[in-house]
Chain A
């Protein structure tokens, strides 16, 4: 099957070369820009989509949630990817944008192995990130200073983490910042006593996750909203999508992607969620959880 497709592709390519200008397939492409957390998923889905629909291309670029939102609001791209609601972002007219929630990501605190702490209360976590708690000893761990590592201000992961961990009026301690989750994980893995946070998909054996109030960071706990630090992955379109953009959005929400690709890449499918959240952070149970 695969081979056949490949041959078909070769034939198409050869005929393109031979006929020079004569178009064999209608070539069409759309561009999706934004969130680096969502980028791997859209890229993988885009490739799969192009393989199934010859001549349709999905260009996926990173750049950050802010870029995604401002580019889609300006109409410069077809899809704007974002970790946060457009309503939460200053300077974006959210009324024209149509929200497509394609997945959910859970975010968990990670620490360097060997701190002696595996469970914290939400208050203790607040204390760490506001700079009140500065040694693991205070939490019953080793006598080791706590180094806080944040993502850069404005990153979607940081916005989500601070929204659900810190309370109104709390200020995060001025700390080290890193631009990407991959770098964060590497630094946490190598620097004793460091704490940071990443999406579930970035957790590996080099770092330890922390439970909060005894609740472990698992997909099931996100589904039931017991683990509250999670966010939707949004794909915004400017107005209702049409043409290829609509096709691709339908494809993203199709069972093929939701059941296979999303789980495989470490995201959580939307339809597993037992609760729903709006831009203000109010949660309500989903009518018919599957």
Chain B
């Protein structure tokens, strides 16, 4: 009797293993959350000190168009207007996404709907290969091929938003394509069958049913591509020219948040305004990353076909 009772009262070995596993996964998750929170805290606290300790006004920082950290303007305020970089970042991001989206969706349709065999055998490996190429290689190709090409067509130096857009286009193409493929694949087979059964042509099925049902997934893919383009530093830095000027056209040198960050970080001294203002740029990047993240979730929730 007692033996039976104690058997029921004690934890079984399987239960113990279960608990052990739970504890381990909880620790891992807590660790990840802790890392994310500390990064957030570190970047934001550093970024905010531009405004608190150095007394730069947020408006001047976000909308000022002169970027000369370390120098002061006529009114005695430091010249740390980040508008040229913010605009540069947005332009290259939007343009490259605009350019990449049609290509990616077309490629995805071909791979899923039109020729799944060739898609799996040829296109899939090619795209995976593109994902694996390090960004410095893209940047180097951009510097030696794209920039001279732009220069020979449009004149000028060849450095600028257009070159950066072309390089980023190639870089985000695989990301957007493979996510678009997943989105199209997740459209249930019976949607297609229903459309075909009702007399829809292949084109009508793709256009009216598959693409419509996959819209949230496709949008998520595009936003993901934009997030990657926004955060890309090295390749952009090599081809955009890094001139902190408000972009007036696509073929004069411009700059992005990331390119100015990577260029200046090592040359500034911790705790000075020059350094703090770079952290403020990093904060903008972080906020944008969060924004893209929330946007993809929101699209996934709102856009689902009911």
Residues of A within 8 A of B (CB): 36, 62-67, 69-70, 74, 89-92, 147, 152-156, 171, 174-179, 183, 186-187, 190-191, 194
Contacts and interface: CB of A to CB of B under 8 A. Distances in A.
Interface of B: 68-71, 143, 147-148, 151, 157-159, 237-238, 241-245, 253, 255, 262-272, 274-275
B269 A191 contact: no
Given A154-B274, A194-B157, A66 B269 contact: yes
Contacts of B265: 64, 67
28 contacts: A36-B266, A62-B266, A64-B265, A64-B266, A65-B267, A66-B267, A66-B268, A70-B269, A70-B270, A70-B271, A90-B274, A147-B157, A152-B264, A153-B68, A153-B69, A153-B264, A153-B267, A154-B268, A155-B267, A171-B71, A174-B244, A176-B157, A179-B262, A179-B263, A183-B238, A187-B159, A190-B148, A194-B157
Nearest first, the 7 closest Cβ-Cβ pairs linking A and B are A64-B266, A154-B267, A152-B263, A91-B272, A177-B242, A176-B241, A64-B267
Given A154-B267, A154-B268, A187-B159, 9 more contacts: A36-B266, A62-B266, A63-B266, A65-B266, A147-B157, A153-B69, A178-B242, A179-B242, A187-B143
Q: Which of A62, A74, A152, A183 has the most CB of B within 10 A?
A: A152
B267 A152 contact: yes
- Helix, strand, loop or mixed for chain B's interface? mixed
A71 to B, nearest CB: 9
B266 A91 contact: no
A89 B157 contact: no
A191 B150 CA distance: 12
Given A147-B157, A176-B159, A91 B271 contact: yes
A27 B157 CA distance: 52
Nearest to B151: A191
A178 B253 CA distance: 11
A269 B157 CA distance: 38
Contacts of A67: 265-267
Nearest to B263: A152
A165 B270 CA distance: 28
A147 B274 CA distance: 26
Nearest to B274: A154
A153 B238 contact: no
A184 B71 CA distance: 24
A92 B269 contact: yes
Nearest to B268: A66
A28 B119 CA distance: 56
B272 A90 contact: yes
B242 to A, nearest CB: 4
A129 B260 CA distance: 20
A275 B176 CA distance: 60
